[in-house]
Amino acid sequence: MKSDYYVTIEGSLTRDQNTLYFANQADKRIIPVEKINSIYSFKSLSLSAGVIGLLCKYGIPVHFFGWYGNYEGTLWPKETLVSGDLLVQQVNHYANNEKRIDLARKFVIGSIKNIQKTIMNYQKDLPEIDRYIASFERELALLESYNTVQQLMSSEGHVRDAYYEAIDSLFPDDFKIGTRERMPPSNKGNCLISFANGMLYSAILSEIYHTHLNPTISYLHEPSERRFSLSLDIADIFKPIISDRVILSLVNRKMLDDSHFDGELGNILMSDKGRKLFIQHFNDKMNTTIKHKGLNRNVSYRHLIRLELYKIEKHLIGMSEYRPIVMWW
């Protein structure tokens, strides 16, 4: 099984024929390219044209993260799984407002229902859980009446605000999210969410590469230059399933302290120690397996993302109607 490779120290990728190396002043190690799914770089990383050629040959995306742990961009290899028919249908479902709204609504339904499932795990610790669940149900009931992307985005935003409010009631004071902020985050809670979302966004992008889908054509989030917006659509469904649960686990198990963060109030980022800890637990979550009720076999959380993308492909070409994954476990 292929795995991800994480660069958390400065260095360079070098190539000797068909062998790839990571090197810095202290070390030089072989990277088995045939066993790598994606590379995530959180530090300054230099690479040559020869290295890029080798990575593209093996279809290995490289995701780059900035100083604040935010996703900055991806080295995207030449696509090998190309389908003109699917691309036409993907564009058609974006250009046709009714088809676009149908898909966008389903992404929001998946997001809200998975948020509900996550919150229900903490019902003993949330005295106001009935209020939160009732507000989620109200938004779900209203979704069918919405006929614009803006309305759907607003609905999902209201639910996520209530969701973060509920999470704050579970967190100690120094990890409370408060108002959602992004670049730069001003507290530890926002810092964790931004870092986790960037990790999930990149993981989804890697899975899209192994399908026939075009990552720039999306339905809930508006396609625009310089971003793979389909990853944002899919991430909304999987945040409560994967990245949010990693955050909840680390905070509630008291695995994080001041040493896992750098900066001052108004400018907080994960320290090297914090990044390594989060990456370890995120990777463990992605590789965790569950019994798939449809396939009747164990699949990893990473493969659940791939299966979701296959469902979207089938919807686009008319094989079966798309229904978003909702946690059953």
Q: Using one digit for the tens of pLDDT, what is the confidence trace for 125-170?
A: 888 889 999 999 999 999 999 999 999 999 999 999 999 999 999 8
Whole-angstrom distance, CA of residue 30 vs CA of residue 164: 42
Pairing of strands 62-65, 71-75: antiparallel
User: Beta-strand (E) ranges in the chain?
Assistant: 3-7, 11-16, 19-23, 28-31, 36-41, 45-47, 62-65, 71-75, 261-264, 267-270, 289-292, 297-300
Contact 274, 260 (CB under 8 A): yes
Query: pTM for the full model?
Result: 0.87
Q: What is the pLDDT of residue 165?
A: 92
pLDDT score, position 255: 95
pLDDT value of position 187 = 87
Chain segment 46-99, per-residue pLDDT in tens? 998 889 999 988 889 999 988 767 788 888 887 666 687 899 999 999 999 999
Q: How far is CA 151 from CA 148, 185, 278, 323, in A?
A: 5, 26, 34, 20
Q: Which of 71, 69, 19, 21 is nearest to 47 (CA)?
A: 21
Q: For domain 3-60, is the CATH number 2.60.40.10?
A: no
Q: How confident is the model at residue 284 (pLDDT cuts 50, 70, 90)?
A: very high
Q: What is the number of helices (H) and of strands (E) in the chain? A: 10, 12
Position 227 confidence tier, pLDDT thresholds 50, 70, 90:
confident
Q: For residue 39, how many C-alpha atoms fall within 13 Å in the half-sphere facing its CB?
A: 31
Given the structure tokens 């120094």, which residue do they identify? 174
Amino acid at residue number 259:
S
Length of the chain: 329
Spatial neighbors of 223 by CB under 8 A, at least 6 apart, are 94, 216, 217, 229
**Residue scoring higher pLDDT (245 or 123):** 245
> Is the pLDDT score of 225 beyond 70?
no
CATH of domain 84-316: 1.20.120.920
pLDDT per residue as tens digits for the range 187-221: 899 999 999 999 999 999 999 988 999 999 999 99
Query: Which residue ranges make up each domain of the chain?
Result: 3-60, 84-316
Tens digits of residue pLDDT in 249-264: 999 999 999 899 887 6
In sequence order, what are the beta bridge partners of 229?
Answer: none
Average pLDDT in the 15-25 region? 87
Q: Are 175 and 189 in contact (CB under 8 A)?
A: yes
163, HSE (Cβ side, Cα atoms, 13 Å): 27
pLDDT tens track for 113-135: 999 999 998 888 888 889 999 99
Give the model's pLDDT for residue 161.
93
Residue 329 confidence (pLDDT): 84
